[in-house]
Every structure is written in structure tokens, then in C-alpha cells.
Structure 1
Amino acid sequence: MKPIKIAICLSLLSLSFGAFAQEEKGLAPVSKAIEGWSAEETLDNIRNFSVRDLVITSERALWYHRYASQTNKTAILVRRQPTMELPNAIIPDIGNIRAETALGSLTLDEFLVSPDSYAQGFVVVHKGKVAYETYPGMLELDPHFTASVSKVLASLVIDQMIDDGLIDENKSLGSYVPEFVGSAWENVPVVDALDMSVGLNVSEYDRTSDVSIISRLMAAELGEPINGKLENMLDVMLDAEPQGEPGDSFIYSSVVTQSLVFLAEAVSKKSWSDYFDERVWSKIGVEGPLQVHLSPDGMAIVHGPMSINLRDLARLGMLYTPSWSKVSTEQVVSPMALDRLQNTPRTREFYLAGNGPAFMDRLGDNTVKTAARQWDAIWPDGDFFKAGLNTQGLYVSPKRDLVIAYFSTEPSQQMQKYLRPIATSGLFD
């Protein structure tokens, strides 16, 4: 893939597409994900897939969502505990909740069964029990691409280190990461990296140049040259320059998430995958493995590419709820970490001064309070949400003991429109 194409397709969340643009791009019916691909199609996908296919949601995007490990180096985190089952306690009325979408005013049931929604899986878990679950475009235990939903796992690891006294969030990244000393990252406070506010020229929205930091980072992750030169993530990040002050506003960036990966590895002296396995994954009674996809030089790409089955993604969300003990042998998310997230000092002004309005527009909800800890939206009632490219998502309501998780192959994030209506429906009060 040429550098200019990389520049066009970089943002995993920020590109604004018309709803259901896959019809223009020739995306196969989502049922193809269940029917499968021929040997010839599989080889063609492996040999020719590029991140551009994800961003324009080409036919290869549907394939990649299931088979990312066939194109990326991948660390496989296996199940360590007996599976902790999620029993059913179905609430049919969830399917009757209505939202305004690009397909019209539809109930959730109507939206998910529409082939034009490109929905693949949707699950609602209440008090540790499955209240709603459907798989219109995948098999229920299939691993699926998370996209940027995985960003919150980067902040979870850092919050554990803060709890353990290994990191002071008010100290700078350079206090912990020797490689950052002498660069623009050196004096960025850890808390500003956690909250997407580093004051550097690394914005996800900087697509005007094929040699911007975000462009070069994506190229490095793909093993693609920029102007004939192959780079690694660290070298690209060290070229970042100041652009404003840390802490001023919410400026979304996958580059920032990767700074947390370098921070975690510098403090733990372990690979990110091994540390996450030790502190988080090995404690959960999951059903399948977690696939942590890697750059060519072996760095965990925590800002986006991971693969997991849907119920296990919901289990990760449950770690933030009162039902954590129904899926984990230990309380992975401490009360202190949850408090730092829900009661962040980041204001609505901080959110609106940056990329917050775009996130509220996709949600169809302007009551969001702010963003923090790599989550895209935090509401006054303590709920929080993280989205990913092609409409992946994780919504958590600790007060209601509620988790919503979903997978899709659709670029315009229409499924987000159902989240707050579900949470505030009164069914879980």
C-alpha cells in the first residue's frame, strides 16, 4: 500500500462516512462471515489485505474481522481459569427499544436482523446474566476484531500499576520510560496520556500529510515504507512535537494509547501481552483466547487490533461492575480505579474543546459529561463507553450492573444510537 493511501485511511474512529457505505464499496453480505471463504478467497485476502480495506469497509474488512491473526503477528492469551458461565435471564423488551438510525426509526430487533445493518453480534448482560443476545452475522464463539475498543485495556493496566504504587499519574512519562527522555513525550504527565490530552501533534484527525505522526505510525505497524523508509513505532513517536499544552482538551489519538504500552513495559519489565495475561486475562473465566495483534517489530498494538469473542468482551466490561466476581477470581478493577474513571476532574468544557462533539454526534446523545482513561464518553450517572472502527463497542453501567457489547462491519456507528436508550429504559433500574 502506498504512503498516500495510508494517510487517507488512518483514523479508526474519526473518519465520517455516509451510513452503510459498504453498498458503494461492494462489501459482501454479512452472512458471508457465517458461510465462510474459499481457499482462493482466503489466499487473496491474506496476500492483499491493507488497513485501507478496514476504513473503506471493503469485502476484505468482513474477512479480517474474523481472521486478523492470518495477517498480523499475534500473541495468543489462552484461558487460564475454568469458564465462568453467564446464565440466561432474557428480557424480551430489550429488543423493542427504538432508535433513530440511518435505516429509519427501528426497534433493536428490527435493526439487528436487517441485512443493511451489517450487525454481527450484540449482547446485553445484567447482573451477570445474559439479558439479550443475538448473532446475525457471526458464530457466537468466533473471535472478532475489537478495533479501538481495546484502548481501554491499556488504561486498565496503567491504573493497576497506579494502585500498586508503581506509577504516580502526576509524574511525567519520561520519569518511567527512558526512551522518551529528550523527546516531546518526556514531560507529558501520565494522567494526560491516560486522558488523550498530551499536547503533541499526534491527533487522529491529522490526515493532511502522508508523513504526519499518525500516518507514519500506521505505516510502521503494517511494515510499510514511508518515502522508501521502514520505521518502527518508537522512532515515529519520538519525532512528535509540541502542539498546545498537555491537559487542555480531549484530542483523540491512537499514538497516545501506544505511549501507555511503552509505559507499561518500562515499569513491568515484561511484554505488554505477558503482563496483561498475568494481571487480567488469567483471572477471568473466559470462553476463548484473546488475540493481541503485534507490529512487525513485536509491539502489542493495543490502540486497535485485538480479537476476542463477544461474551468475553462483555466479561471484560463486567470487571467494572458489581458482578465482577461472577467472571473473575480477583477484583481486577479496584474501587479506586473505578472512582478515578467515573469522577474524573475532566470537565465538559475539556470534552467540547476537543473531539467530544463528534463522539456525541455518533451516540445521538448530547448529555455526555466528558472522556477519560481512554474511554470515549462518560455520563453524569457514571456510565461509560468505548467505540471502535466499523461499529464495535463496549458500554458499561456500574450503577445498573449492566454491560452491552457488540460487533459489526459498518462504518457509521449506527448501533451506538441504541446504547443510552437501552441503559435508561427503566428495565435495569
Structure 2
Amino acid sequence: MARWKNPPPLGFVEAATSRFSFPNWQSGNDDSIFYNLNIPSFFKSRTVAAQPDFSFLDRAINADLLDITFDNLDGSTNPPLREYLVGPRQVQAMMMAYRGKVVFEIFPGMNPMDYHVWMSASKTTAGLLVSMLANEGAIDMEQPMSTYIPELAGSFWDNVSVKNTMNMSVGVDNEETFESLSNPDSWITKFFTAIFTPADDPSEWRSLLKEVQPLSDEKPGDVFRYSTSNTQALVLLVEQVTQMSWEAYWNQRIWSKIGARGPFMIGLAPDGTPVGGGLNFTTLEDMLRYALIYTPSWNVVSEEQIVTDALLKEIQTLGNPEAYANSTEIAYGQRWFGETPAFNTAQWDHAFEDGAMFKHGNMGQGIYVDPGRDFCGCYFGLATNDESVAGVDHSPGYLRAAAKLLAGE
């Protein structure tokens, strides 16, 4: 992985560029690494500039964190973090902060100032903006999505509340599973093709949102079924309610206030809509600055408490444990953490009774916030989603283990 700290040869750049396709991007090969480090080269993108001054993050590096480990549900113990980092999951970078100071940072497969795609860890930004609008009374979480997105009126979204969309329990046939993503005729495969591939109809993904069909034996709120399409519906909601572009509102409420050292970039769908469900593109340190606003040490990066105590509580408790317990995703949480999370909430995949929350990203990205322990961590990686090839993504479990260790537990 260390070779990615140097510019790749021209021949590789030209060949990888010619080979770009959605399947190749998702394959976990060398081309994938190049794509994830250069998203604006493969998707039309918009950029939010950094502010003149950036927030300084003190370092208090704790080398002992390289020795942390944790147990799996079956009682087996994972190797020390130092060994895991050089394994098949191809972790490219990882940072942790405790009480507002960086206590761990490592960059096995990229440079500290390189940019990388967040993939689905991006979804937390949608959850935050919608939560803010709801907290301020601009959105009613119990109202149907079509109340705020006129183009979805007359579709099943008339029956899906904002809250259920936030919690990915919409009761329609849009779930991302290995089976559905492997089926070229599934609704979700058609959606991803439409949102990531140039087409004769650039807005086809919007039409597909209106056409998605309800599940015959399930109603909204019953089951957590993971789908990026839900997040993209929330992107449309934010733009309609604020009458601002997604990235402009994100900058106004968050990015311009955290002392980001670099710009925020986001890839666009064919029709120019930001893909807020997956294509955020920043340095890892700036992603950590974002994570810090969920902790008691928010003042390290911001002059104002962006995520107030009341807002944080709303985000932490929006989910439904019963919907989570019946989901496919609960098994991921158990494998990643070696324990069973309590529920999902507000676009975060896994939440715990102690208030910690985690969001995973395709091919091995992640963000973990643990307000109760004043801890947060982020990582970038590149590995196929086939666990039989790359193994289980245990980075989430190492972050949670580090939080507990630093808190003296």
C-alpha cells in the first residue's frame, strides 16, 4: 500500500482511466484505489473552498493503541491493531481523537494531505442536516417525504415519513444486499447505474425514485433496509426546503465553521445533483474535524456548538431497535464490533446504548463518534466487499476498543 504515497506511473494512470466503470471501481483492485483517491477525475464535482484559517489539532500520540485488540462474538481474539493494519483490508489511513487531541494517526496507503472518497460515511452529513432542519422546525419528521419534495407526490413516498427515511425503514423494494446488487434487473442495480453512469436521461434516477414499489408484507418503520436511494431522497429534501444547493447549505451550516484545512468536494449524479449518499471527498484530518463536532471537545474545531446537546440526543435516539433487530445489517455490526449494537439511527448504521454511533462506507471507510467517552475516529480503506477474500472489516471494533481503553474501561 505504501506505493500509493508516490504518484503512479503515467501508463497506469492512462490505463486505469480508460478502464473506469462502476463494476471495476467496486472491485477492490489497484484501479479502485486510484479512483477513490481521484473521485473528481471520474465524476463531475463541486467544490467548497476552505476558510482562510484552519483549526489546529494538537497531537498526543499514544503508541500503545497499536497493541489494542478485541474479541469476536465467538470468543476468538483479533490480532493487535498493528498487524491488522497491514492485512488484506488494505487500510489506507486511520486517525483517532480523545478529549480533542489526536492520539493516533497512521497512513499506510496514502499521504496525510491526500484526498479520499468517504463513500457511505457521507450519509451522516445528510442525517445531520435533516436533523438540524427538524430541530429548528423547518421539517416535521412525521410528515411524508412528498410534502417537501413535490416531484415525489403521487408515489409511494406519500406514505413514507421523513423519520422512516432517516432510519432507512421505508418499506419499499430498494434494499442493498449482495443478491439485489448482483441482479442486473433489480431496482437498486438500476438506480446505481442511473446515478453513477452517464445516460440518455440524466435524471433517470429521480424517475426511479418515483417508481420504486412497496413490499407487500411490510409497512414503513418495520425493518431497517439499507439503501443509498433513501439518502438521495434526503438530499432532494434539503435542497427543496432550503432552496440552496446541497453543498452550499452544507458549507453554510458545517464546513465553513470547523476550520477545515482543505476544500470539501462532492461528486455529482448525471443531472448535476450532489451524491450526498456517497461521494464526499476530503482529507482524513478534515473528516476527523467533522467527527469532533459530535463530541464534548467540539470547541477544538469550532467557535460555536454546531451539534448542540439537544440535537445530539435527537440523533442518538431517532432509531427503532425492533426495526434494527430484524435487519440484515445487524449481522455486520456483530462481525465488525464483536458485540451487538442496539439500533441504527438518523443515517448511522449502528448505535449503542452508551451513545456511540458508527457509519460504514463501501470498500472500507468509516466514522465512529463516542460522545460519552469524548472520542472519535475515522479511517479510509480499499478492499473488496467480499469478506471471503478480504476478511471482516474490524476497523470499527478497533476504534470502539480504543475509546474504551482511553476512558479507562
TM-score normalised by L of structure 1? 0.87
Residues 286-307 of structure 1: per-residue CA shift (max 9 Å, x gap): 1111111111210111111221
Residues 121-172 of structure 1: per-residue CA shift (max 9 Å, x gap): 1111011101111111110011111110000101111011112211011111
Q: Is 1:417 matched up with 2:389?
A: no
Give the equivalent residue in structure 2 for 1:369.
Answer: 342
Give the equivalent residue in structure 2 for 1:360.
Answer: 333
* CA–CA separation in structure 1 for the residues paired with 2:201 and 2:142: 36
Contact between 2:70 and 2:398, CA under 8 Å: does it hold in 1? yes
Matches within 5 A, 1:22-421: 30-80=1-51, 82-99=53-70, 105-112=78-85, 114=86, 116-205=88-177, 206-207=180-181, 209-224=183-198, 232-243=204-215, 244-344=218-318, 346-347=320-321, 349-411=322-384, 412-421=392-401
Contact between 2:202 and 2:270, CA under 8 Å: does it hold in 1? no
* CA–CA separation in structure 2 for the residues paired with 1:407 and 1:229: 33
SS at match of 1:299: coil
- Kindly provide the amino acid, as one letter, of the partner of residue 398 in structure 1: P
Contact between 1:81 and 1:283, CA under 8 Å: does it hold in 2? no
Q: How far did 1:46 drift?
A: 2.3
* CA–CA separation in structure 2 for the residues paired with 1:322 and 1:111: 30
Residues 336-364 of structure 1: per-residue CA shift (max 9 Å, x gap): 221112233512x3212112323223314
Q: How far did 1:405 drift?
A: 0.7
Q: How far did 1:420 drift?
A: 2.5
Residues 47-99 of structure 1: per-residue CA shift (max 9 Å, x gap): 32122123221211110121111011111111125111111112222111024
Is there any run of 5+ residues in structure 1 with no aligned partner, and where?
1-29
- Kindly provide the amino acid, as one letter, of the partner of residue 418 in structure 1: Y
- Kindly provide the amino acid, as one letter, of the partner of residue 415 in structure 1: S
* CA–CA separation in structure 2 for the residues paired with 1:278 and 1:122: 27
Aligned pair in 2 of structure 1 residues 246, 180: CA closer, same or farther (>3 Å)? same
**Bigger shift: residues 331-340 or 311-320:** 331-340
Residues 217-255 of structure 1: per-residue CA shift (max 9 Å, x gap): 211122355xx8765221111111111211001111011
* CA–CA separation in structure 1 for the residues paired with 2:52 and 2:308: 20
**Bigger shift: residues 42-51 or 240-249:** 42-51
Q: How far did 1:200 drift?
A: 1.0
Aligned pair in 2 of structure 1 residues 369, 100: CA closer, same or farther (>3 Å)? closer
SS at match of 2:79: strand
Contact between 2:319 and 2:343, CA under 8 Å: does it hold in 1? no
Q: How far did 1:39 drift?
A: 2.1
Q: How far did 1:408 drift?
A: 1.0
Aligned pair in 2 of structure 1 residues 139, 289: CA closer, same or farther (>3 Å)? same
* CA–CA separation in structure 1 for the residues paired with 2:97 and 2:379: 11
Count of residue correspondences:
395
Q: How far did 1:116 drift?
A: 3.9
Q: How far did 1:416 drift?
A: 2.6
- Kindly provide the amino acid, as one letter, of the partner of residue 362 in structure 1: R
* CA–CA separation in structure 2 for the residues paired with 1:309 and 1:69: 14
Aligned pair in 2 of structure 1 residues 177, 420: CA closer, same or farther (>3 Å)? same
Give the equivalent residue in structure 2 for 1:19.
Answer: none
Aligned pair in 2 of structure 1 residues 427, 333: CA closer, same or farther (>3 Å)? closer
- Kindly provide the amino acid, as one letter, of the partner of residue 410 in structure 1: A
Is there any run of 5+ residues in structure 2 with no aligned partner, and where?
385-391
Contact between 1:384 and 1:396, CA under 8 Å: does it hold in 2? yes
SS at match of 2:369: strand
Q: How far did 1:426 drift?
A: 4.7
Contact between 2:341 and 2:350, CA under 8 Å: does it hold in 1? yes
Alignment identity in percent?
30
SS at match of 1:399: helix
Pairwise CA RMSD:
2.0
Q: How far did 1:211 drift?
A: 3.2
Contact between 1:362 and 1:416, CA under 8 Å: does it hold in 2? no
SS at match of 2:320: coil
- Kindly provide the amino acid, as one letter, of the partner of residue 260 in structure 2: V
Aligned pair in 2 of structure 1 residues 104, 52: CA closer, same or farther (>3 Å)? farther
Q: How far did 1:428 drift?
A: 5.4
Contact between 2:202 and 2:271, CA under 8 Å: does it hold in 1? no
Aligned pair in 2 of structure 1 residues 124, 230: CA closer, same or farther (>3 Å)? closer
Aligned pair in 2 of structure 1 residues 364, 331: CA closer, same or farther (>3 Å)? closer
SS at match of 2:102: strand
**Bigger shift: residues 198-207 or 415-424:** 415-424
SS at match of 2:13: helix
TM-score normalised by L of structure 2? 0.91
